[in-house]
Structure 1
Amino acid sequence: MMITLEMLEEVIERTGASFEEAKAALQANDGSVEAAVNSLKKEKEESKSFEKAVKDTMQFVKDMAEKGLLSRLIIKNKEETILNIPMGVGVIGLLFAGFFSVAGLTAAFVADYEIKVVTKEGEEINLNAYMEKAKEKVSTVVKDYLDDDETE
């Protein structure tokens, strides 16, 4: 199927995608404008759900740290410990460098690093699992919203 300028313009107008994104979506969906629009909306919402999961995880850690319930932050790559710091030091970074902490947590999660916090009682909380649960919840809400949007 030949992709026309009109098709590209419609996808861009309906999604806010760039020219390259619209073209790629149309190509991936055999020139179907509707399928390309739905595909781009789904990608955008999945990206938002991941960002929300990261922010929710950061808020969880901040809340626990502010209450004095955490003692350590541990980041591992396979069996190698990359970072193991007391939360007193870690909280400073979390509170004053929020953007960099979110970006760092995102990068670590995407790169398959294992991220844990340790409570004062010695219990380890795996933040990867926490983020995955948060992402699934948001994705379900987004999917339901998109499904409702498609039926209208």
Structure 2
Amino acid sequence: MKVTLEQIDELRNRVNVTYEEAKSTLEKNDGDLIKSIIELEKGKGTRGNEKNRRGEGFTSFANRLLQLRFSVKNKNENTLINVPLVLVLVTFVMAFWVVIFGLILAVLTSCKIKVFRDKNSVNINGIKRNMKETVEKIKVKSEEIIKEDAEIKEEKYYESDDMENEIIIE
């Protein structure tokens, strides 16, 4: 069956695809618009899931990266430094000599340097959740402030109107 340009345009309007994808899907489904829409939406659903999996991959990578800790303990097993390894790496990039000096000092004073995975560390999902809650609180509070400000301005407007309409004769 021959597919018309109108059919392709209609399919492209309903499902965000290229002309080539729309034409081949319509030809495959003998010009049936509904079957073509369903097929393309199913295909998009799987692509969306792939993107979602990639996002989960980044989140799990970031979580694993945040679990790595850098610890320095002295001879008496007192913890001198216990920070995320990411912080040490960023400091290393920005202030190379400071990190090198600190490591040499730790080795000379017989400190134990340890890089380990902390299962109870901060994770990305917790950070996202905290940020969403904070943003929501800020939105609610700012709406309250704006509403109160509008009420105050309205009251002042009516008060000033009353003053302008008064005529005082002594």
Please state which band the TM-score falls in when normalised by the shorter chain.
Answer: 0.3 to 0.5
Q: Over alpha carbons, which structure has the higher Rg?
A: 2
Higher relative contact order (CA 8 A, sep 6+): 1
Tell me which protein shows more strand as a share of its residues.
Answer: 1
Normalization by structure 2: what TM-score?
Answer: 0.39
